[in-house]
C-alpha cells in the first residue's frame, strides 16, 4: 500500500480562528484547549508570520483552561465556568470570546452552555467551536465572524448609505493584513465612503457594533467571508459587493476603484483623478528603474505561486497584467472548499494571457518542491511567489523568490503591504532585489 505524507502546511488548525477575535481590539479570547494549542497555532500565524502578536493582549496572557487528563475523564466545563468568572474580574476587556479545541469537542463539553450563564452581563461573552479536526484556521476565522453575527449583532435604528463594512481579509493569516486594511481605509475614504473595519488599531468592539448600520458590505477576497455577507444580507438586508482580490498594481486597483464607485454611486470624476495621479506616480518610479531592471540578465519570465487563494489571485493578476510575466503553475494551499474551486480557477485565469496553466488545490505545500526537483534551471529560471517554506528550495536552485503568504517568515512586517499602487512598488522592490541577488552579473 502506498502512503501519502502531506508536508509543509501553510495553515494552522481550526483553533487558530481565535486570532480573528484577537485582532478585534479589547476582545479577549478564552481558550478551552490543551496547554500546547496556542503555541502550535501562534507559530504559523504569529512569530513565524512576520513576527506578529496580539497588541491588546499578548499571547502570554491569553487565558486557557489547559485541558488535561482529568478533564478528559470528568469534563472541563466547570473549570471553564470558573475561568470565565476570573477573566471578568481581572481582565480589562470589552468582549470575551470562548473557543474550544479538539479534546473538549471530543469529550462533549458544551461551551455554549457555559457562555449562556453570562447572557445578561455587561461585557458580552461569545463562543465558537474550533476543533482542528473540522478544518483549518480559515474555517475558524469564519466561525468566529459567524458567532459575532448570530450571538451579538442587533438591528440598527437606521443605516448610513456611505458606511461600508470591510470583510475578506483574514487577520494574522494574511501577514500584511494590518497595513493593507490601513491603506484600503484611506483609499475608500478618499472616494467618499466611511469604511468600517473591525480589526486593528483604534477599531475594536465599537466598530463591531456599527456593522448592521452599513449601506453595504464589501468582500475583498476570492471566497472568504462570502457566507458572512450572505448571512448579514438575510439578517439586516445589507447588500454586498464582492471583489475577488485585494488588488496589487495599476490594472486591478483601477478596476477595484471603478467597481466600488459604480456600485456606491460615488463621484466618478474624483475617482478618475485619483487613478490618473496614482498611475502617473507608479509609472514614473518604474520608468526610473527600467535601465536597472533591463540590466538583470536572464530575468525569469515564468512564475509559480504556492500560496493561499487570496494571495494567489492578487499576485497572478499583477504579475501577468502589469509585469508581463507568464504563469506556469499555481498551487492553492489554504484548504479552499470544494464548492469554490471552480470559481477560484476562473478568477486566476481572468488575466491578459491566452495560454492555459495548471491550478492545483492542495494543502500539501511540499508538492511544489517535489515538482521542480528534475527541472533544469541552468538556462531559464522561474520566479517563486510563496511562503517561508519555499525559501529553501528557491535558494537551493537560485530562483527569484518573494514571500506573499503565511508563514511569511521571521522577518518583521510592521505596516508593510502590497496593496494598491504604492504596495505594487514595494512588491517590485522585493522582486527585483531578490532577482539581483541571484542573476545579476557583478561585472555590469
Cα(279)–Cα(400) distance, integer angstroms:
26
326 within some domain: yes
- List the beta bridge partners of residue 32: 100
Apex 65 CA angle, 139 and 104, nearest 5: 50
Least confident of 2-11, 31-40, 282-291: 2-11
- List the beta bridge partners of residue 401: 384
**pLDDT above 90 covers what percent of the chain?**
81
Least confident of 69-78, 180-189, 401-410: 69-78
pLDDT score of 367: 93
Per DSSP, 392 falls in state: H
310 within some domain: yes
Kindly state the average pLDDT of the residues 27-53.
Answer: 92
Highest mean pLDDT (candidates 49-53, 189-193, 300-304, 361-365)? 189-193
Cα(136)–Cα(224) distance, integer angstroms:
13
> Between 144 and 293, whose confidence is greater?
144
3-state secondary structure of 170: coil
Residues 82 and 207 occupy one common structural domain = no
Residues 207 and 242 occupy one common structural domain = yes
- List the beta bridge partners of residue 196: 165
Q: What burial class does residue 12 get, using C-beta atoms within 10 Å of its C-beta: 0-12 exposed, 13-18 middle, 19+ buried?
A: buried
3 within some domain: no
pLDDT score of 71: 60
pLDDT score of 442: 38
5 within some domain: no
pLDDT (tens digit per residue) in 355-402: 999 999 999 999 999 999 888 887 778 999 999 999 999 999 999 999
Name the domain count of the chain: 3
Residues 350 and 392 occupy one common structural domain = yes
Residues 125 and 234 occupy one common structural domain = no
Residues 209 and 295 occupy one common structural domain = no
Distances (CA, A) of 115 to 25, 85, 153, 317: 20, 10, 16, 44
Above 70 in pLDDT, residue 432? yes
Task: Point out the domain boundary residue: 210, 240, 268.
Answer: 268
Dihedral pair phi/psi, residue 174, rounded to 5°: -80, 110
Task: Point out the domain boundary residue: 151, 171, 202.
Answer: 151
Cα(221)–Cα(167) distance, integer angstroms:
8
Residues 24 and 101 occupy one common structural domain = yes
Which residue reads 470575551 in cell numbers? 96
**Neighbour count for residue 377 (Cβ, 10 Å):** 13
Which residue reads 537551493 in cell numbers? 396
Residues 348 and 432 occupy one common structural domain = yes
Least confident of 19-33, 72-86, 158-172, 234-248: 72-86
Task: Point out the domain boundary residue: 233, 268, 303.
Answer: 268
Above 90 in pLDDT, residue 435? no
Reported confidence tier of residue 19, pLDDT bands at 50, 70, 90: very high
316 within some domain: yes
pLDDT score of 58: 86
pLDDT (tens digit per residue) in 114-150: 999 998 888 999 999 999 999 999 999 999 999 999 9
Residues 139 and 63 occupy one common structural domain = yes
Above 90 in pLDDT, residue 299? no
Q: What does DSSP say about strands 326-332 and 214-220: parallel, antiparallel, or unpaired?
A: unpaired
Q: What burial class does residue 99 get, using C-beta atoms within 10 Å of its C-beta: 0-12 exposed, 13-18 middle, 19+ buried?
A: buried
pLDDT score of 75: 67
Above 50 in pLDDT, residue 62? yes
Reported confidence tier of residue 2, pLDDT bands at 50, 70, 90: very low
444 within some domain: no
Distances (CA, A) of 39 to 44, 269, 304, 366, 407: 9, 50, 31, 23, 15
pLDDT score of 415: 94
pLDDT score of 425: 97
Structural domain that includes position 111: 14-151
Q: What burial class does residue 178 get, using C-beta atoms within 10 Å of its C-beta: 0-12 exposed, 13-18 middle, 19+ buried?
A: buried
52 within some domain: yes
Q: Do residues 218 and 166 make contact, with C-beta atoms less than 8 angstroms apart? A: yes
pLDDT score of 246: 98
Cα(244)–Cα(180) distance, integer angstroms:
15
Least confident of 80-94, 255-269, 430-444: 430-444
Residues 316 and 426 occupy one common structural domain = yes
437's grid cell? 541577488
Per DSSP, 7 falls in state: -
Residues 165 and 142 occupy one common structural domain = no
219 within some domain: yes
**Neighbour count for residue 357 (Cβ, 10 Å):** 18
Q: Do residues 129 and 111 make contact, with C-beta atoms less than 8 angstroms apart? A: yes
Candidates 128, 137, 144; CA nearest to 45 is 137
Q: Whats the size of the chain, residue-wise? A: 444
Residues 116 and 224 occupy one common structural domain = no
> Between 69 and 289, whose confidence is greater?
289
Q: Do residues 403 and 168 make contact, with C-beta atoms less than 8 angstroms apart? A: no
Chain mean pLDDT for the chain = 92
179's grid cell? 497595513
pLDDT score of 440: 43
Above 90 in pLDDT, residue 14? yes
Q: Do residues 164 and 264 make contact, with C-beta atoms less than 8 angstroms apart? A: yes
pTM score of the predicted model: 0.94
Above 50 in pLDDT, residue 444? no
**Neighbour count for residue 399 (Cβ, 10 Å):** 23
Residues 413 and 293 occupy one common structural domain = yes
CATH code of residue 216: 3.40.50.1980
R_g of the chain, CA atoms, integer Å: 23
pLDDT (tens digit per residue) in 321-365: 999 999 999 999 999 999 999 999 999 999 999 999 999 999 999
Amino acid at each position: 500500500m502506498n502512503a501519502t505524507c502531506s508536508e509543509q502546511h501553510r495553515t494552522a488548525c481550526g483553533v487558530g480562528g481565535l486570532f480573528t477575535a484577537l485582532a478585534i481590539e479589547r476582545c479577549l479570547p478564552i481558550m478551552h484547549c490543551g496547554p500546547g494549542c496556542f503555541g502550535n497555532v501562534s507559530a504559523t500565524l504569529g512569530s513565524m508570520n512576520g513576527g506578529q502578536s496580539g497588541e491588546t493582549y499578548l499571547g502570554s496572557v491569553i487565558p486557557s483552561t489547559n485541558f488535561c487528563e482529568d478533564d478528559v475523564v470528568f469534563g472541563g466545563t466547570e473549570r471553564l465556568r470558573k475561568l470565565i468568572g476570573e477573566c471578568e474580574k481581572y481582565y480589562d476587556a470589552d468582549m470575551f470570546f470562548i473557543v474550544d479545541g479538539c479534546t473538549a469537542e471530543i469529550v462533549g463539553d458544551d461551551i455554549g452552555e457555559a457562555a449562556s450563564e453570562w447572557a445578561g452581563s455587561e461585557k458580552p461573552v461569545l463562543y465558537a467551536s474550533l476543533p482542528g479536526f473540522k478544518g483549518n484556521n480559515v474555517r475558524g476565522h469564519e466561525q468566529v465572524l459567524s458567532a459575532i453575527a448570530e450571538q451579538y449583532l442587533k438591528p440598527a435604528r437606521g443605516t448610513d448609505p456611505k458606511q461600508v463594512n470591510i470583510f475578506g481579509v483574514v487577520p494574522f493569516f494574511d501577514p500584511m493584513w494590518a497595513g493593507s486594511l490601513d491603506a484600503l481605509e484611506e483609499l475608500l475614504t478618499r472616494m467618499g465612503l466611511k469604511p468600517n473595519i473591525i480589526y486593528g488599531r483604534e477599531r475594536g468592539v465599537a466598530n463591531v457594533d456599527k456593522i448592521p448600520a452599513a449601506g453595504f458590505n464589501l468582500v475583498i477576497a476570492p471566497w472568504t467571508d462570502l457566507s458572512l455577507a450572505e448571512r448579514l444580507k438575510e439578517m439586516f438586508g445589507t447588500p454586498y459587493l464582492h471583489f475577488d482580490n485585494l488588488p496589487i498594481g495599476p490594472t486591478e486597483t483601477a478596476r477595484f476603484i471603478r467597481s466600488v464607485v459604480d456600485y456606491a454611486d460615488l463621484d466618478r470624476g474624483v475617482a478618475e483623478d485619483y487613478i490618473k495621479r496614482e498611475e502617473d506616480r507608479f509609472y514614473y518610479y518604474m520608468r526610473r528603474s527600467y535601465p536597472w531592471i533591463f540590466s538583470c540578465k536572464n530575468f525569469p519570465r515564468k512564475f509559480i505561486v504556492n500560496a493561499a487563494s487570496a494571495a494567489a489571485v492578487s499576485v497572478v493578476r499583477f504579475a501577468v497584467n502589469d509585469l508581463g510575466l507568464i504563469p506556469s503553475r499555481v498551487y492553492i494551499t489554504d484548504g479552499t472548499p470544494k464548492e469554490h474551486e471552480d470559481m477560484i480557477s476562473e478568477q486566476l485565469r481572468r488575466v491578459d494571457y491566452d495560454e492555459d496553466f495548471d491550478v492545483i488545490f492542495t494543502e500539501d505545500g511540499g508538492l511544489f518542491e517535489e515538482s521542480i526537483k528534475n527541472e533544469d534551471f541552468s538556462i531559464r529560471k522561474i520566479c517563486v511567489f510563496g511562503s517561508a517554506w519555499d525559501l529553501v528550495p528557491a535558494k537551493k536552485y537560485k530562483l527569484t523568490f518573494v514571500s506573499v503568504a503565511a508563514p511569511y517568515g521571521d522577518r518583521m512586517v510592521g505596516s508593510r503591504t502590497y496593496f494598491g499602487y504604492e504596495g505594487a512598488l514595494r512588491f517590485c522592490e522585493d522582486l527585483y532585489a531578490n532577482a539581483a541577488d541571484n542573476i545579476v552579473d557583478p561585472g555590469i
